[in-house]
Amino acid sequence: MKKRIVVGYDGSGASDNAVDFAVNLAKASQAGLVIAHVLEWSPYTFLTPTEIEERHARRTEELERAHTAVLDPVMQKLSKDGVEAASELRYGHIAETLIKIADEDGVEQIVIGRTGHSQLSTRVFGSVAGSLAQAAPVPVTIVP
């Protein structure tokens, strides 16, 4: 199986840098790229009855928005540049989910950006980089 590099992507500037970095890395080592976007979600939060009822519709919207606003633009850019890449869109705890993806797909490295504007990326920073550093099964690169 071809070696692959996972990029934790959230649409922020830093995660764009991470993609650029990973593209060069992939070219050099002839590895495949996986652009992974994780929607922060926990099965243990508490919801009101109305939120429960609307959850399925919200989830459909969230997935659609994640595609159109986050993943599609970067995938289009990559394909325009002639870079082959796959995308992953999942719900879950960000670091844990990235680790799961790395475990599943015979990944040789995880790359994430260091800072971003969105709330999501702030989250990515507090704990994701730290958790990855502690628990990732493969080397992790943090790109400023």
Partner 1 sequence: MKKSFAAALAASMVLACTLPAMAQSIAEQVNTLFANSTGWFVSFIFSPFPGTSFPWIVGWLVVAATVFTIYFGFIQFRAFPHSIALVRGDYSDPEDAGEVSHFQALATALSGTVGLGNIAGVAVAVGIGGPGATFWMILAGLMGMASKFTECTLGVKYRNEYPDGTVSGGPMYYMTKGFEERGLPAGKILAVMFAIFCILGAFGGGNMFQANQAHAQIANVVGDYPGWITGLIFAAIVFAVIVGGLKSIASVTEKVVPFMGVLYVLTALVILLMHADKIGWAFGQIFEGAFTGLGVAGGFVGALLQGFKRAAFSNEAGVGSAAIAHSAVRTKEPLTEGFVSLLEPFIDTVVICTMTALVIIITGQLVADPETGLYLLNEGGSAIQTVDGNSGVALTSAAFSSAFGWFQYVLAVAVVLFAFSTMISWSYYGLKAWTFLFGEGKTKELVFKVIFCIFVVIGAAASLGPVIDFSDAAIFAMAVVNIVALYALMPIVKRELESYLSRLKSNEIKKFT
Rule CB under 8 A: say whether 104 interacts with partner 1: no
CB proximity list for 74: less than 8 A, separation 6 or greater = 9, 11, 16, 19, 35
55 lines the binding site for partner 1 (CB under 8 A): yes
Site membership for partner 1, residue 41 (CB under 8 A) = yes
Between CA 83 and CA 5 the distance in angstroms is 13
Residue 39 binds to partner 1 (criterion: CB under 8 A): yes
With left for phi above 0 and alpha for psi between -120 and 50, is residue 112 left, alpha or beta?
beta
Show the binding pattern over residues 79-98: x = contacts partner 1 (CB under 8 A), - = does not.
Answer: -----------xxx------
Q: Which residues bind partner 1 (CB under 8 A)?
A: 39, 41, 43-57, 59-60, 62-63, 90-92
